[in-house]
Amino acid sequence: MFGDANLDMQFDSRDLVQVFVAAEYEDEIQGNSVWATGDWNADGEFTSRDLVFAFQDGGYVVDTARPVPEPSFSIVFLWPFVAGFRRASSSRRGQSNVASL
C-alpha cells in the first residue's frame, strides 16, 4: 500500500509522522530517500509528488481511535469567574501597595 512507511499494512498519521521526522522532505540531498522515509514513487526523493501519489491511491485511514476532547464542564462553568478575577487583579496593579493602618 502506497504511503505505508512503517509497513503495518495501513497508511495513516503514524506513517506521515515517521516520514516527516526523517526530515528528507524536499531536502537538498539527491537520491537519499527510501520507502520508509517517504519515497513512495521510487524516484529516490521524498517530495510532494510522493504525497499526492500516496493519497491518490485512496488507502489513507483516518485514525478514529483518538477522539477530540471536549471542554470539561468545570472549565466552561468556571471561566467567567477566572476571567473576572484576572480583570480585577490587573486593575488593582495600578493602585498603591501601601496598606492603610
- Opening angle at CA 60, ends 35 and 63, nearest 5: 115
With cell 512507511, the residue in question is 5
Question: Residue 13 phi/psi, 5° resolution?
Answer: -60, -30
Q: Please give the span between the terminal C-alpha atoms of the chain, in angstroms, as a whole number.
A: 78
Per the CB < 8 A criterion, the answer to whether 62 and 11 are in contact is: no
The answer to pTM > 0.75 is no
Indicate the domain borders of the chain: 1-63
User: Above 70 in pLDDT, residue 81?
Assistant: no
Give the pLDDT confidence score for residue 50 in this predicted structure. Answer: 96
User: Above 70 in pLDDT, residue 3?
Assistant: yes
